Amino acid sequence: MKQVLQHLRTGEVEVADVPCPLTRPGHLLIRTRATLISAGTERMLVEFGKGSLIAKARSQPDKVRQVLDKIKADGLLPTLDAVFSRLDEPLPLGYCNAGEVVEAGDGVSAFKVGDRVVSNGAHAEMVCVPKNLCARIPVGVTDEQAAFTVLGSIGLQGCRLIEPTLGECIVVVGLGLIGLMTAQMLRANGCRVLGIDPDAAKSTLAREFGVETVDLANGADPVAAALAYSGGTGVDGVIITASAKSHDIVKQAANMCRKRGRIVLVGVVGLNLNRADFYQKELSFQVSCSYGPGRYDSGYEQAGHDYPFGYVRWTEQRNFEAILELLASKQLNVDALISKRIEHANAAEAYRTLIGNREVLGLVLTYPKAPVTRDTTLTLPVSPASSKPAGKAVIGVIGAGNFAKMTALPRLSKTDARLACIADIDPVAGAHAGRKFGFQKVTTDYRTLLDTPEINTVFVFTRHDLHAPMVLEALKAGKHVFVEKPLCLEREQLTTIRETLEQAGGRQLLVGFNRRFSPHAERIKKLLAGRTEPVTMSMMVNASVIPPEVWLHDPKIGGGRIIGEGCHWIDLMMFLVGAPVVRVVATRIGESPALAIRDDKMTITLTFADGSMGTLHYFGNGHKSYPKETLEVFGDGKCLRLDNFRALAGCGYGGFSKMKLWRMDKGHTEEFRRFIDTIARGGPPVIPFDEIENVMSATFAAMESSRSGRIIDIS
């Protein structure tokens, strides 16, 4: 199928081939009939992409600070790699979609095949959208009209926040698509509306909807005009739908309001607020969030949990439905807002029009009426990486997220393995990774990999809760498996994986414990080889803050940060001493009203079978600019210190004092090389499963100990 993408590095827009999305539980698969280009948001995105690196940096000072922090912690080269990798990713454009349901996923009962619906789907021939972000189109509303629903709901949410009452005087600043629809909705609510925009053509169109306007093009004073319009008392409220960098817009809004007036920001403007402007009048100021309640709440949008009707009358879905009712009753006129209709295949032309003509309003993309082939697999052009001779590892990859794109795939593409197919539920992410790293095919259905006999090795780079199920499926399909840590989230899964691996007969299973493969870890291992006594180790991990709503903290999805990431350093210390963990005791930070998460601030003490001891300090409350990992090893009157996998220093070792690399090396390259070589040549597992099992058992024990206060012995 075809989808409109923008390349952030260059700003260029293309209509690319991507696989059809797979229908997911709680989602609708929709064949698109019409989409609307958002003249404000999408113009801003394209202009951002066309800007230079310096211009991009100036427009995002917060991102620049993050980059500087990463340079301090990780070094210049890894940071540049990360930045350019992000800029290289294509961005799906569009969020105003009208189409027809072709399939309803499990758990969807309110929609059926054949329903015409609106959604926030992209400019693509087929989209898969959560059920709470869809609404049925009433009879009498055309597809083109319905495509204005999502933009209209943004304005409607601003109207709801301003709480207009019959007869009030409201100003709308910015008469673009959202502003013109907002003005009509306020008029339908019985308000007197004054529109303000520097574009004379937009002001003329607003007057056709019964809106009074201010002619800024001829130097009119908006504050004076608003005061005159309100009879000198000041307007009741101002809705700002403009997009501008100026701080004057909010100041003018405050000056034109009456005492205790209301200001709602729907657009994007400068916010250098002056306290005096608000203090004397006791003005209220509020920023509106997109389509309404539920926006950016994963429980509502992705999981499909609706808010109770009696307590949250207007969710984003119910706002969609309200806009559609206004369209059906002809109280909202969007036909006059359509500037041009352009075929979806010629979308690049539409964006050139958008950038070249600031007066353009609604650009509607039209789609072929013929049914779209629902092919979830796309064959890509032959590349060197996908045409390597057989007899080597033939790889299928599941997951094209950040770790895969920025860490794993660049290294896998340089091995002797043949990259056969990559799978991801996001068609754009999968297709981009497939083209960039030289895969033969890309699919949105990971079972395609398992059903392909030629593929003998599967790499799993998915969300943590999917690791164990996919490992089991791949082993049962007769594949060798590499899975990024953690292997699983529960002890029972660990037992099942062992049994399945034993039944698989000669299949390789490797978990991504990459740090043991770093040159520094290998050197420490050799330096400790001649020791005469147990060692003590201290591993300090500055994990930095991750907000509590991020999926990593969810015990069912991410497993928490200790299970999801802490297992890395348990494995490293076990590898260095060469003995399994036999006892674990862990303590987490104490309770505090300021702490939403406690499990990512923990000290874990490990006792190994040879008497060695290791302490892991995993602290998720530090700053990103501080180095993430510091390891100290003491024994035989000697000391070693490893700083962030860049520099290793030794004291008391006659033939060794220091080892420093130009850039951080956490062992990923060597890890993948050894695994691929083992697949090609055979041999024992790269990491024996007994060791993998011991590490995961110790990690589970750490969580149990931190919550129970007990010492846990590992059998």
The string of pLDDT tens digits covering residues 105-148 is 999 999 999 999 999 999 999 999 999 999 999 999 999 999 99
Shared-domain flag, residues 215 and 316: no
The string of pLDDT tens digits covering residues 54-83 is 554 555 666 656 656 656 556 665 665 666
Could you tell me the two tokens for 188? 């339908």
Shared-domain flag, residues 389 and 356: no
Exposed/middle/buried for residue 628 (C-beta within 10 Å: 0-12, 13-18, 19+): middle
Shared-domain flag, residues 578 and 641: yes
Shared-domain flag, residues 114 and 186: no
When pLDDT is averaged across residues 660-687 and rounded to a whole number, the result is 93
Alpha carbon distance 563, 32 (integer Å): 41
Shared-domain flag, residues 138 and 168: no
The pTM of this model reads 0.88
Bridge partners (DSSP) listed for residue 30: 101, 127
Evaluate whether residue 371 is within a structural domain.
Answer: no
Evaluate whether residue 430 is within a structural domain.
Answer: yes
Bridge partners (DSSP) listed for residue 262: 237, 284
Of the residues 504, 536, 565, the one at which a domain ends: 504
Confidence of residue 12 (pLDDT cuts 50, 70, 90): confident
pLDDT value, residue 272: 87
- Three-state DSSP class for 189? coil
When pLDDT is averaged across residues 236-262 and rounded to a whole number, the result is 94
Evaluate whether residue 373 is within a structural domain.
Answer: no
Beta strands at 362-366 and 116-119: parallel, antiparallel or unpaired: unpaired
SS in 3 state form for 496-545?
HHHHHHHHHCCCCEEECCHHHHCHHHHHHHHHHCCCCCCCEEEEEEECCC
Q: Of the ranges 55-69, 591-605, 612-626, 696-710, which one carries the lowest mean pLDDT score?
A: 55-69
pLDDT value, residue 8: 78
Mean pLDDT of all residues in the chain?
91
Confidence of residue 517 (pLDDT cuts 50, 70, 90): very high
Residue 673, pLDDT above cutoff 80: yes
Shared-domain flag, residues 654 and 532: yes
Quote the domain boundaries for residue 671.
515-713
Shared-domain flag, residues 225 and 325: no
Alpha carbon distance 73, 51 (integer Å): 28
Shared-domain flag, residues 698 and 550: yes
CB 376 within 8 A of CB 448: yes
Evaluate whether residue 70 is within a structural domain.
Answer: yes
Alpha carbon distance 365, 344 (integer Å): 5
CA angle 285, 38, 59 (to 5 degrees): 65
CB 661 within 8 A of CB 519: yes
Confidence of residue 651 (pLDDT cuts 50, 70, 90): very high
Evaluate whether residue 700 is within a structural domain.
Answer: yes
pLDDT value, residue 309: 94
Alpha carbon distance 163, 172 (integer Å): 14
Shared-domain flag, residues 274 and 307: no
pLDDT value, residue 233: 94
Who has greater pLDDT, 620 or 49? 620
Alpha carbon distance 479, 458 (integer Å): 6
Evaluate whether residue 29 is within a structural domain.
Answer: yes
SS in 3 state form for 129-161?
EEHHHEEECCCCCCHHHHCCHHHHHHHHHHHHH
pLDDT value, residue 87: 61
pLDDT value, residue 372: 79
Bridge partners (DSSP) listed for residue 541: 618, 629
Q: Which of left, alpha, beta for 439 (phi over 0: left; psi -120 to 50: alpha)?
A: beta
When pLDDT is averaged across residues 350-370 and rounded to a whole number, the result is 87
CB 120 within 8 A of CB 40: no
The string of pLDDT tens digits covering residues 161-184 is 999 999 999 999 999 999 999 999
Domains in the chain: how many in total?
Answer: 4
Evaluate whether residue 372 is within a structural domain.
Answer: no
The string of pLDDT tens digits covering residues 423-479 is 999 999 999 999 999 999 999 999 999 999 999 999 999 999 999 999 999 999 999
The string of pLDDT tens digits covering residues 364-398 is 999 998 887 889 999 998 766 666 665 589 999 99
CATH number for the domain spanning 496: value is: 3.40.50.720
According to DSSP, residue 280 is labeled T
When pLDDT is averaged across residues 20-40 and rounded to a whole number, the result is 94
Of residues 362, 631, 426, the one with CA closest to residue 518: 631
Could you tell me the two tokens for 208? 């056709």
Shared-domain flag, residues 235 and 323: no
Evaluate whether residue 418 is within a structural domain.
Answer: yes
Of the residues 452, 471, 504, the one at which a domain ends: 504
Shared-domain flag, residues 661 and 535: yes
Shared-domain flag, residues 525 and 645: yes
CATH number for the domain spanning 549: value is: 3.30.360.10
Of the residues 287, 305, 333, the one at which a domain ends: 287
The string of pLDDT tens digits covering residues 267-325 is 999 888 889 999 999 999 999 999 999 999 989 999 999 999 999 999 999 999 999 99
Residue 646, pLDDT above cutoff 70: yes
The alpha helices in 272-426, defined as continuous H runs, are 275-279, 298-301, 316-328, 347-356, 402-403, 409-412
Beta strands at 362-366 and 27-37: parallel, antiparallel or unpaired: antiparallel
